[in-house]
Structure 1
Amino acid sequence: MNQEQALHLLQYGTTPVSNLLFDYYACIGLNEKEMMMLLHIYRFIEDHHPFPTPGELSERMAITDDECSSLLRTLINNGFLDMHKNEDDNQVMYETFSLEPLFRRIVEAFYRPAEDLRTEAEGEGELYQLFEQEFARPLSPMEYETISVWMDQDKYSADLIKAALHESVLSGKLNLRYIDRILFEWYKNGIRTKQEAKAHSDRFRKSTSSAGKASKEKLPDYPNINWLDEP
């Protein structure tokens, strides 16, 4: 390489990236492929191209267009990436990516013990996988968002959500609307742990069995939420 070529390389530019991203991405539940995708998006944004397509991203990564699309959906669903709709001066709509969710979670990670964050991230990932296993299909973006709201806004623990999923399986009503009502009923009854949920469910099944309400052909509905079947 001659001096002219070396000078050209130096003038190609650099993309400044905070060391916090490298230090904490694993703690917040990102794997290497997801992190590389976010870094490429960051690079595009720095180059004034805030909405790269899956095709443009795949040209810089060792994955296909379809894999890029799937990875983008995962990052958005899991709260690492935002997609905004905007309008220019001519009222033409356009979309942009935002890495603000990623940066916010990195900053939160900086002020929390790494082991706590890693355990929490692993628990969330396991929870999504469990739902997909029981549903026998990938979750939709809306379903991802619903489960995220249960954890982030309603403050239901992952263990309690798993217990509610188990109840819905036993009742033969495998949908998030039914699970949401189970969680709400538990909350009204002061149930906060999976142990309390199990004891509550056991008492209900025992009472319905002794009253002769149990059916051999169909599992009983969950208490107080039979109206969920109504349109």
Structure 2
Amino acid sequence: MQYNDYRFLGFTVFSNGLLAYYPQLKITNSELILIIQLELFAQKGNKFPSNEQMAANTNFSATEIASIIQQLIDKNDLTIDQVTDEKGRIGNYYNLDRLYSKLDDLLEKNVATPKSGEETTNTTSEIDNSPLNQLMRQFEIEFGRYLSPIEREEISAWLNVDHYDPEIIKLALREAVLSQAYSLKYVDRVLLNWQRHNLKTPSEVQKFLQRNR
């Protein structure tokens, strides 16, 4: 198949925040796969796909799909609500609002930074929003997974040993994402390449990228 053939199949919009933080929401891998399927069908206009339809897209049986759905309902992450159409017919649909409300609360505590004009008075918040922690969270969101301890040490070394500007590291991360290379090795190669070109500020990097696009 060519890329355009895949485009014909369509794309599903999904929250990077949920991919990065689903373990903290106590979502299992199998539950995440089901949530992705629910989003896939909903974004195609089918808000109440059958267990058989979802099983056909996964390695689960229809019985396993039913069990996973019940798990999400029991954890108050998923509800089955009713809607009445224009002809007065009553139908069901899967509702993930409660899960996304939990995600909102989690992201507010772990990712949100102070808004412009606001002063940070909580010492813990200041620590949480240090350049290192902000970088780690951004990597986790872009990579869609938790960083390993070794990866966290490498990012720390970029700041404290190599003394890279945090904004330059973010630019290198963006280059990795654009190349669909979700690894710190790729980011490190980008940083070393910029270092060889004696690029020391974000503006110098951006000018370099503009010249070489």
**When the two structures are superposed, what TM-score results if normalisation uses the length of structure 2?**
0.49
Of structures 1 and 2, the larger Rg is shown by: 1
**When the two structures are superposed, what TM-score results if normalisation uses the length of structure 1?**
0.45
